[in-house]
Structure 1
Amino acid sequence: MTSTVEEIHELGRRWAEAEQRGDTPSLDAMTTDDFTLVGPLGFVLDRGQWLQRYRGGELVTRSLVWNEVEVRDYGDAAVAVGRHTQQASYQGNPVDGQFRATHVAVRRDGRWLLAGIHLSPIGGPPPFARPPSS
């Protein structure tokens, strides 16, 4: 029997592969009806809007790596925090980047589904955190 941590890692692997393929049927099947994405600039997409970016060809993901993942198990819910590194374009514009990503998953009828993803850009330290120049 697999552990929740292993199952959530597997869900994340399948999600990243489906995003790279633009595989909307698979993405649709692995998300809850009320799935929400909070993008790296603070925009919010519901499931239909999230999937439409691929259906319409607006979002093309050439590479997506989901690693450094730590999972917290809460029974029928789990939270996974990791690093999301992508090479992609949106409406022909590059949207490459590295993001800290939080995935929220829920167990429904014995299987794990993504209920939400929140992305935050990974940047350097703010100016006030840097040592003074000599």
Structure 2
Amino acid sequence: MTTLPQELAEFPQHWADTECRGDVEELRRLLTDDFTAVGPRGFVLDKERWLDRYASGALVHDAFAWTEVAVRRYGGAAVAVGVQRQQSTYDGRDADGHFRITQTLVEEDGRWKLAAVHLSPTGAR
């Protein structure tokens, strides 16, 4: 098994911590300019719409964890798969969830960034 570079190995936890805080500026640095997210109900968000959920105050996490993460590197790209659990509200409504999450990471200008994320609900709570 190939050892991952430290930044890549630590990226999943750093991303999860940043999402939990809703830190728009750090997320802006972690996402590629052409970032795309596919949400648990099939909706698609670009980088600005992803960030706006936090900037507007619409999305708030009380708890957010990404566990069972496996990262595989392919040259200047990597795929991370894990389980995301969140206790959240969106526009004041319950947004708790349990998802299988897949991330596509790319090395850009010497840093690892998130290019895409896809969330699939698992049905667990």
What TM-score range do you get, normalising by the shorter chain? over 0.9
Aligned counterparts of 2:18 and 2:120: Cα–Cα separation in 1: 21
TM-aligned CA deviation for residue 6 of structure 1: 4.6
Q: Please name the residue that 1:28 is paired with.
A: 28
Name the CA shift for 1:29/1:68 in 2 (closer, same or farther; >3 Å).
Answer: same
The residue correspondences of 1:12-91 to structure 2 (distance < 5 A) are: 12-91=12-91
Name the CA shift for 1:5/1:99 in 2 (closer, same or farther; >3 Å).
Answer: farther
1:32-60 residue CA offsets vs partner (Å, 9 max, x unmatched): 00001110010000000000000000000
TM-aligned CA deviation for residue 5 of structure 1: 6.4
Q: Please name the residue that 1:119 is paired with.
A: 119
Q: Which amino acid letter does the alignment assign opposite residue 76 of structure 2?
A: D
Q: Which amino acid letter does the alignment assign opposite residue 74 of structure 1?
A: Y
Percent identical: 52
Aligned counterparts of 2:80 and 2:95: Cα–Cα separation in 1: 23
TM-score normalised to structure 2 length: 0.92
Q: Mind listing any 5+ residue stretches in structure 1 that lack a counterpart? A: 125-134
Count of residue correspondences: 122
Aligned counterparts of 2:34 and 2:21: Cα–Cα separation in 1: 23
- RMSD value, Cα: 1.3
Moved over 6 A (4+): none
